[in-house]
Amino acid sequence: MNRLHRRFWALAGTAEPVVTFTNEAGVLPSALAAGELALGAVACAASAAGELAAARGVPRPAVLVDGRRTSAAFRSDQLFRLDGQPVDGFAALSGFWPTAGGWVRTHANYPHHRHRLLQALGLPPGAGTTELRRSLGATCAHEVEDRVTAAGGICVAVRSESAWREHAQAAAVDGLPLVSWAQVGDATPRELPPMPGDPLLPAHGMRVLDLTRVIAGPVATRTLALLGADVLRVDSPQLPEIAWQHLDTGMGKRSTLLDLGRAPGRRTLERLVDSADVVVTGYRPGALGRFGLDAPSLAARRPGLIVADLSAWGPAGPWSGRRGFDSIVQAATGIALAEATDGTPGRLPAQALDHATGYLLAAGILVAAVRQLHDGGTLHVHAHLARTAHWLLAHRDGRPQHLLSPEGVLRERQSPTGRLRYPAPAVQISGGPDDWLGVGGPWGADPPAWRTPA
């Protein structure tokens, strides 16, 4: 019995589907139940795919969750190779730093976040780790958090779980479900074209507009692409993506660039929305509202849409509008100290909050599609990194385990950007796909159009 899987289906109000788990030990060894989180999140996505296949008229496929595949998929950034070369997961100024009072965790992988971090601390643009360490060592952790956040950068004071529980944002997160569904408009029941039989693709015929970045959102849409959806990711040309990160999380998808600050870009996006089945957003709450990409505006524009969104901290509470990443949420909520082993903050064996939330959001979208086939409606699906973190904090493990080897579950393929090595998909259903149709597509290289006309 996986507690996350059981909780998800209880929230969905549906009997828990049968899932076969194998190789459950050593998925993500940690003090917390990170392995169970990973297995459960993948199981949610896979079993929801099976439910959608059954709702479309085929026998319900068996669902298998293999710990070896799950472990590798959650550590894809560590295992990814481009032309045989590994990648750097974090920039030099991203990490844990001691201050005059406590620790902080910074995130400066993107150039604009690096610039804001240095600017907030009064450091020159070319400052490195020595200058950053010296500056932080003269200031208290909470003061650094406030200054960097006010400048639009990303930094949190490292808190214990008990200290986090005293924060107003923790109470707001506790008020959120792990995944939520809400009907935000009326629409006739969804109709989808017949599915191909080999492989079984439960999301075939669904058009997914991907307005997400980094890991959690792209993992969700990458999962939908694996299952047959036509996924088009849209980015701003003013916010370049980290190249290897796009390749890692862009499997099976296409990528285009639109400048929403200009009328032609907005009109093109509106045309895409008008023929989409799903819109997935992964920016901080409110960031896309000025473009009419908030749930109420999208529901009014496109009845029958599934609007799915995720954020770091959720839609409520004093931090609801803040930026955040997996490592930042781990540090703020107490996970980093729970995983500490030598007196310094620790971390989970993978960016497990990102990956797990991505699979949970994909599962939520698939459940929403099942509901629409039966009852119609315009549906809004939520998932959030901090809420996933709260589930993890409530479930401990602590058993000494050896990390599963990725041997036998890594793939190598030539792609338009080079030879890729990457983990095989973690989501498996009988008769379903065993790899993405395409990999290695360059960022922003595709036209802003669906594969097939409406």
CATH number of the domain bearing residue 155? 3.40.50.10540
Mean pLDDT of all residues belonging to the chain: 94
Q: Distance (Å, rounded) from C-alpha 261 to C-alpha 291?
A: 9
Q: Give the residue among 157, 158, 161 at the shortest CA–CA distance from 148.
A: 157
Token look-up 């409520």 returns 316
Sheet holding 20-22, edge to edge: 20-22, 63-66, 428-429
Is residue 44 predicted with pLDDT exceeding 70?
yes
Whole-angstrom CA distances from 29 to 183, 354, 396 are 38, 17, 11
In the prediction, which pLDDT does 281 show? 93
Residue 233 β-bridge partners: 210, 255
In the prediction, which pLDDT does 91 show? 86
For residue 448, the 8-state DSSP code is S
Query: Could you tell me the residue range of the domain that residue 117 belongs to?
Result: 1-454
Structure tokens at 284: 């901080």
Q: Give the residue among 260, 213, 246, 216 at the shortest CA–CA distance from 448.
A: 260
pLDDT grade, residue 396 (50/70/90)? confident
pLDDT grade, residue 345 (50/70/90)? very high
Cis peptide before 264, with omega less than 30 degrees from 0?
no
In the prediction, which pLDDT does 292 show? 83
Per residue in 14-43, pLDDT (tens digit) is 999 999 999 999 999 999 999 999 999 999
- pLDDT above 90: percentage of residues in the chain: 87
Element (H, E) at 383: strand 378-384
Per residue in 350-392, pLDDT (tens digit) is 999 999 999 999 999 999 999 999 999 999 999 999 999 999 9
In the prediction, which pLDDT does 197 show? 82
pLDDT grade, residue 295 (50/70/90)? confident
Per residue in 400-443, pLDDT (tens digit) is 689 999 999 999 999 999 999 999 999 999 999 999 999 999 99
In the prediction, which pLDDT does 270 show? 94
Q: Mapping DSSP to helix (H, G, I), strand (E, B) and coil, where does residue 95 land?
A: strand
Is residue 86 predicted with pLDDT exceeding 60?
yes
Whole-angstrom CA distances from 192 to 93, 161, 204, 267, 373 are 47, 46, 8, 26, 8
In the prediction, which pLDDT does 399 show? 66
In the prediction, which pLDDT does 453 show? 56
pLDDT grade, residue 55 (50/70/90)? very high
Whole-angstrom CA distances from 86 to 62, 77, 405, 435 are 35, 9, 17, 21
Q: Distance (Å, rounded) from C-alpha 412 to C-alpha 283?
A: 32
Element (H, E) at 409: none
Parallel, antiparallel, or unpaired for β 81-82 and 418-423?
A: antiparallel
Q: Distance (Å, rounded) from C-alpha 409 to C-alpha 388?
A: 26
Structure tokens at 37: 């989180």
Is residue 326 predicted with pLDDT exceeding 90?
yes
| Interval 148-158 mean pLDDT | 95
The tally of domains found in the chain comes to 1
pTM: 0.96
Cβ-contact 222, 255 below 8 angstroms: no
Cis peptide before 199, with omega less than 30 degrees from 0?
yes
| Encoded amino acid at 323, one letter | R
Angle in degrees, 0-180, between the axes of helices 34-55 and 352-375, rounded to the nearest 10: 20
Structure tokens at 154: 């990303």
In the prediction, which pLDDT does 288 show? 77
Q: Give the residue among 175, 157, 109, 131 at the shortest CA–CA distance from 313.
A: 175
In the prediction, which pLDDT does 291 show? 84
